[in-house]
Amino acid sequence: MKANRFISFFLAIAILVASVSISAVAVSEKWKAKNEEPFIFIHGLNGWGGSEGINGVIPYWGATTGDLMDYLRGEGYECYSASVGPLSSAWDRACELYAQLTGTTVDYGEAHAKAHNHDRYGRTFHQPLVKDWGELDKNGKIEQVHLIGHSFGGTTARMFVHLLGEGSAEEMAATPADDISPLFTGGKSDWVKSVTTICTPHNSASVYYPLQLLGLDIFVQTFSYIYAGLLGRSYLNGRIVDFYLEQFGLTDIPGGEKADMFFKALKLILENKDDSCQYDLTPEGTKKMNETLDINDDIYYFSYAFSTTHDVLGVQLPDIRTNPVIYLTSVAMGIGKFTDPVLGTVYDGDWLANDALVNTESAKYPIDEPHKDFESGNIEKGIWNVMPVERGDHGTAIGLFAPADETHEFYIELCEMLNALPD
């Protein structure tokens, strides 16, 4: 047991990023609860959810401040930390999230699976994460949820609500009506009350280019898959970590189907160029994502951007308390003035400010979608309500090395605001 906890702690430190303190949400009035829908928290790249053993050592949500889900439940909020593929694409993660919420088998889609040369089905969840989600309550109102995503978890939430609302024409064309997952048939946008993104790279991030220049993008992706493949077929799989890569045959299903031959599965997943979290975060992947996804007029959208930098003679340099592990990436992003050849983003002026992994402006809203600055007395559906910029680096919002009272205040304010949203 002690060995497992040591390994868990080591893995958590290797994945999580440190942060500085977090400031409370700026609100101008006391929120009055109108509803009490469940809150679904979605982790980012290389993260984990509440069902994984590592979460008992260092919870993703809350980190060194303690398990945020436990704290919020103690305050009367129904909260769940979902577990989805830490290296998987937004599409695959959305499919896994749907299966968890409904207590069904993961269906990645007939057309999608063929296009990306992996299995159509993944694991089965025998109990729904949220009972009666999407059903009518005793008052005839649909049981809804709030989605809260950190980093790539925000992108996952956007893909999820897009599929719920619009479905997939490709999947409907490729799959008989009696065999298709309900996720792909659309018409379910009213199952979600709100989407909140925190430190999400809606428009990619300039850190991609120095990493690409150094060849680190390919190295990190290859290393990540080797790491996942080894741990995902070891004693730790399902007990400590879970990579959700059984569709590629790279990792075991905990307690179930075993992985394929290691090098065969590794070759398959490395040959797959555009069905991964890493691809979705690139400028090319982000462009395709934003061209595909549309904001839904029936859902409330909120975004939180963070900044760990300050202006020095026209460039942005990180605060001294910025996590040293990502300090140099913040410097590179803050002084790297250029125009993105794919997205056309001009990285200058306000676009240099960053949280050490995501440009602050990128985290505010998808550049092609409607948005406005947050007004507590005028919160609208179908538009990004952009919250005031918070101080801290990319890990701040999950509470790692942050003051517990400030982290808790941030989320209590957020939950109170979401519960007060009108229908």
Sign, Cα dihedral of 242, 245, 249, 253: positive
Q: What is the pTM of this model?
A: 0.92
- Write the pLDDT tens digit of every residue in 298-331: 999 999 999 999 999 999 999 998 999 999 999 9
- The Cα 199–Cα 277 span in angstroms is 15
- Which domain, by its residues, includes 217? 2-419
Catalytic pick from 112, 118, 394, 408?
394
Residue 151: active-site member: yes
pLDDT band at 5 (very low <50, low <70, confident <90, very high): very low
Residue 355: active-site member: yes
What percent of the chain stands above pLDDT 70? 93
Classify the phi-psi angles of 258: left when phi > 0, otherwise alpha if psi is within -120 to 50, otherwise beta: beta
> In the chain, what is the straight-line distance between the N-terminal and C-terminal CA atoms, in Å?
48
Q: What's the whole-number average pLDDT of the chain? A: 92
pLDDT at 17: 38
Catalytic pick from 88, 151, 194, 206?
151
The average pLDDT across 180-191 equals: 97
Q: Give the distance, in angstroms, between the CA of residue 327 and the centroid of all CA atoms in the same chain.
A: 22
Q: Domain of 135: which CATH number?
A: 3.40.50.1820
Give me the number of domains the chain comprises.
1
Structure tokens at 181: 């997952």
The average pLDDT across 96-108 equals: 98
Structure tokens at 28: 């101008």
In 291-383, the DSSP E strands lie at 300-304, 306-307, 309-312, 315-318, 338-339, 346-347, 371-373
Angle at which helices 283-292 and 152-166 cross, to 10°: 30
pLDDT at 28: 37
Lowest-pLDDT choice from 16-30, 236-250, 329-343, 349-363: 16-30
Residue 394: active-site member: yes
Catalytic pick from 355, 362, 393, 408?
355
